[in-house]
Chain A
């Protein structure tokens, strides 16, 4: 490959990479370690090993209902962003029309602005034209930030697919719904799945939009973790966080198996 790298540079690189690995992963490891502690304070080293905080979490109505809310929110968000994003991605990558690059910028623009800005905007909308944000409000907010991801993954997926297949179907006299159901949507499958993964992950993990929209009576897991951390952290928060970390690990590995992480990076 490249010309030889000096030996001391190699040694230096290995030390550097190990240091960064510790730095990147230690925050996750200490959360997992704290969740297994016997102490009710978050001290290091943990005095003993116990699973009592997990029992506590699974007996806590507050955590269970927050978990249920987060799950519903993430699933509705996935459905909405895939339903809106897929057709937009098909239009942007399969058709040539005036204003295409402008529209493409419009669709990706939610990624450019700080999400707290439009979360406050949505709070103002829901307070002015309704009785304040609700779960629906949060689904709308999360769909705005996850939509660009779906559009990106589906577009990236369609680039690898043969556009002539659709043309062939058209020439052979397929109706529009036959072309979409039998040719185009199956071609988008991988991109839609990847987009759905990202949308689920972003929605399930988000605290910023949820906190700034301040929907009364709606509390997601990240919101609950945030407010517990602000006031009285104890190892049951660590137990909930560990469950969320394990879910993330599972999703990342699945994503790697199906699409390959290097493609995403």
Chain B
């Protein structure tokens, strides 16, 4: 008996060790080095402790502007994803089986396509002489060509398409667990269609909407490809500034400090949410 229980304890240890070892070396150690890099000097007297990179990030009004733009865009994107994603998820959850699989395909197919390619599509749509311009001209709405490239509106339009699937799928997962008879009960008791959505469906799907919103916001503040291709160099966001520091200016200390600030913003958002939903520590 004793030997059996010991061997069953040893077995998960054997199974977990390779993956854990890999994550420590390839994930936790690099993240730790990034943290370290952000408080160390670079150059001839490298390796001294310093806060100069953070001072630079906070003193330079340019980066305050970049951070402000990133957060503002992320908020707007999250809000639009909520407004579109919630009704869409409700419709999908009530559709007939065939329609439901078609709609899920419509959400999953773009999601599984590379972000670079989806953004490329948006460049062709939003750019000079692009699809949007052509359609608006054909409808007689504009005279010359229009372009939403290098505008914040263009970034938001493209980013919502990129991130909407996350919102819809998280909300849908939540709606699927909800019993349709609850809403039916509300309707039978005399609530109108919108009242039953407002008083029954919305509160019941609040956890799904909240996790979708947290996910979309977190993905949005760290996104790089879409804002840098649609927005260009004149509308930098945090991720493109970090990229610039790491690959263009080679100021690794400063790039690391900006990354740690982005990491901090993500954790401030994620950790309370994970604790609240009991995904960290508690139930798994």
Query: Which positions in A face B, CB cutoff 8 Å?
Result: 1-3, 5-6, 9, 13, 16-17, 20-21, 23-31, 34, 41-45, 83-85, 87-88, 90-92, 94-95, 97, 100-107, 109-110, 112-118, 120-125, 128, 140-141, 143-144, 147, 151, 176, 201, 204-208, 211-212, 214, 222, 225-226, 229-230, 233, 237-238, 241, 244-245, 248-249, 251-252, 256, 261-262, 264-265
Q: Is the CB of B256 within 8 A of A120?
A: yes
User: Which interface residue of A31, A114, A264 has the most chain B CB atoms within 10 A?
Assistant: A114
Interface string of B79-112 (1 = CB under 8 A from A): 0000010011001001000001101111111101
B235 is an interface residue with CB less than 8 A from chain A: no
Residues of A within 8 A of B107 (CB): 24, 265
Residues of B within 8 A of A241 (CB): 114, 116-117, 120
Q: How far is the CA of A206 from the CA of B87 in the complex (A)?
A: 30
Q: Is the CB of A144 within 8 A of B23?
A: yes
Q: How far is the CA of A64 from the CA of B109 in the complex (A)?
A: 25
Q: How far is the CA of A222 from the CA of B117 in the complex (A)?
A: 8
B30 is an interface residue with CB less than 8 A from chain A: yes
Kindly provide the distance from the CB of B167 to the nearest chain A CB, expressed in whole angstroms: 12
Residues of A within 8 A of B224 (CB): 116, 208, 211-212
Q: How far is the CA of A113 from the CA of B78 in the complex (A)?
A: 18
Residues of B within 8 A of A24 (CB): 106-107, 110, 161, 164
**Across the A-B interface, the 3 shortest Cβ-Cβ residue pairs:** A27-B121, A121-B30, A114-B222
Q: Is the CB of A44 within 8 A of B193?
A: no
Q: How far is the CA of A87 from the CA of B284 in the complex (A)?
A: 18
Q: Is the CB of A265 within 8 A of B19?
A: no
Q: How far is the CA of A256 from the CA of B106 in the complex (A)?
A: 13
Residues of A within 8 A of B19 (CB): 84-85, 87-88, 107, 147, 151
Residues of B within 8 A of A225 (CB): 114, 116-117, 120
- Report the interface size for chain B: residues with CB under 8 A from the other chain: 97
Q: Is the CB of A26 within 8 A of B193?
A: no
Query: Which positions in B face A, CB cutoff 8 Å?
Result: 8-9, 11-16, 18-20, 22-23, 26-27, 29-34, 37, 84, 87-88, 91, 94, 100-101, 103-110, 112-125, 127, 129-131, 133-134, 158, 161, 164, 169, 172-173, 180, 183-184, 187-188, 193, 196, 218-219, 221-222, 224-225, 229, 239, 242-243, 246-247, 252, 255-256, 259, 262-263, 266, 270, 274, 279-284
Q: How far is the CA of A206 from the CA of B113 in the complex (A)?
A: 10
* Chain B facing A: main interface SS: helix
Name 12 interchain pairs, CB-CB below 8 A, sorted by A.
A1-B184, A31-B121, A41-B129, A42-B129, A44-B129, A151-B19, A222-B117, A226-B116, A229-B120, A248-B109, A248-B112, A262-B100
Q: How far is the CA of A2 from the CA of B197 in the complex (A)?
A: 12
Kindly provide the distance from the CB of A145 to the nearest chain B CB, expressed in whole angstroms: 9
Q: Is the CB of B116 within 8 A of A207?
A: yes
Q: How far is the CA of A225 from the CA of B225 in the complex (A)?
A: 11
With contacts A42-B127, A95-B11, A101-B283 taken as known, whether A116 is within 8 angstroms of B101 at the C-beta atoms is no
Q: How far is the CA of A9 from the CA of B125 in the complex (A)?
A: 31
